Structure 1
Amino acid sequence: MAMLFDPTIYDNLKVALENQLYDLDNLDERVRVVNRADRLDMAVMSREFALQFVLAGEDRAKRIIGEIKLDSSLRDLATELLELQEGDPPGCSLRLLFHLTVGDVEAECPRIEAAVRELWGTELSVTQTLLFVYGVERGNCGCRDTVELRFNRRIDEEQMNDLPELLEHMLLTLEALEHI
């Protein structure tokens, strides 16, 4: 008797995110997917899926990259597969990232945070990480800013219906960041 494959929470969410983002790319032509990563870390048996995309259109002044990351650990997988009842319920971590260049850090970073907070509220953890090349005048090349939004809880299939709204908010965020 053949055993049926029962996809994990991670697998189901990953496929749903992929389908919706590629539909926004191929069917709706609202975004262009520019990078995709699907990693399995054998040392700690964790999985990470990431899709990067930009708003469609050649006339975009800034190329701000949106990125959605889904993570699952060995504990998540074991809790789900062994149907363990103790501890946290199984789920995945979801992070949203926006990669952009800022010229005037002191002026632009607070505006970026305000724009993100206006769209996402205050419940999410927002971190801006700046990267610049030492010895290069920042006024000439700018700093790379990675804006990361973390949710205060894990997600599972119960949030599957929220994914289209989440992606729509990401697109609104990309549009808002273009105007900073």
Structure 2
Amino acid sequence: MMLFDPTIFDNLKVALENQIYDLDNLDERIRVVDRVDKLDMAVMSREFALQFVLAGAEREKCVKAEVKLDTTLRDLATELLELQEGDPPGCRLRLLYHLSVTNVEVQCRLIEEAVREKWGTELLLTQKLSFIYGEESGRYSNTVELRFNRRIDEEQINDLPELLEHMILTLEALELL
């Protein structure tokens, strides 16, 4: 009988999920507001995402944080077939923050400063602004994304609590803007 051997993605997903739900249910520091767990059969990729807010935050006005983990067919095949050539298998981890801005020039600069203060300059930081055409509210949706310059694997599982703590500290800083 062959036993199921979880992939890097499965192990990281479970570790992230457990720690985030502990921060929600046990510590009551955050509240999970959305979850994505996708298998894209067309390209055989996987994606897992959890979105959360600070506990007690007003849902309509608050900043949302999101942690996204994804992997590709190449990573899964390299791992499952134990291929030695090429890059070692792993997953891509992205951190996102979703918030509204009204004064783009001022607020986006303040957002970048707040994020850089918590994370430094090594991570790629982008801010994507969008609005609904025809609505004259003057509000823009801003998606702030932090990308790591490498894929991760099980060796980084012990770093997840510190990563999530930095996410919460960043969330608190963005709430104050």
TM-score relative to the length of structure 1: 0.95
Q: Does 1:33 align with 2:18?
A: no
Q: Does 1:177 align with 2:174?
A: yes
Structure 2 match to 1:145: 142
What secondary structure is seen at the aligned counterpart in 2 of 1:101? strand
Q: Does 1:49 align with 2:48?
A: yes
Structure 1 match to 2:74: 75
Count of residue correspondences: 177
Measured after TM superposition, the shift of residue 136 of structure 1 is 2.2
Distance of 2:64 and 2:127 partners within structure 1: 14
Distance of 1:166 and 1:83 partners within structure 2: 29
1:95-154 CA-partner distances (Å, limit 9, x unpaired): 000000011111100110111111101000000000111232243xx1100000000000
- Structure 1 residues 61-140: aligned runs within 5 Å: 62-139=61-138
Tell me the percent identity: 76
Instruction: Pick closer, same or farther for the CA change 1:60–1:125 going to 2, 3 Å.
Output: same
One-letter code aligned to 1:21: I
Given that 1:32 and 1:56 are in contact with CA atoms closer than 8 Å, whether structure 2 keeps it comes out as: yes
One-letter code aligned to 2:131: F
Structure 2 match to 1:159: 156
Given that 1:112 and 1:177 are in contact with CA atoms closer than 8 Å, whether structure 2 keeps it comes out as: yes
Distance of 2:10 and 2:64 partners within structure 1: 24
Given that 1:116 and 1:173 are in contact with CA atoms closer than 8 Å, whether structure 2 keeps it comes out as: yes
Q: Which runs of 5+ in 1 are unaligned?
A: none
Measured after TM superposition, the shift of residue 155 of structure 1 is 0.1
Instruction: Pick closer, same or farther for the CA change 1:44–1:161 going to 2, 3 Å.
Output: same
Instruction: Pick closer, same or farther for the CA change 1:111–1:21 going to 2, 3 Å.
Output: same
The root-mean-square deviation of aligned C-alpha atoms, in Å, is: 1.3
Given that 1:127 and 1:149 are in contact with CA atoms closer than 8 Å, whether structure 2 keeps it comes out as: yes
TM-score relative to the length of structure 2: 0.97
Instruction: Pick closer, same or farther for the CA change 1:161–1:59 going to 2, 3 Å.
Output: same
Structure 1 match to 2:9: 10
Distance of 1:125 and 1:171 partners within structure 2: 19
Distance of 2:49 and 2:113 partners within structure 1: 25
Given that 1:77 and 1:90 are in contact with CA atoms closer than 8 Å, whether structure 2 keeps it comes out as: yes
Distance of 2:52 and 2:157 partners within structure 1: 20
Distance of 2:70 and 2:49 partners within structure 1: 9
Distance of 1:89 and 1:113 partners within structure 2: 32
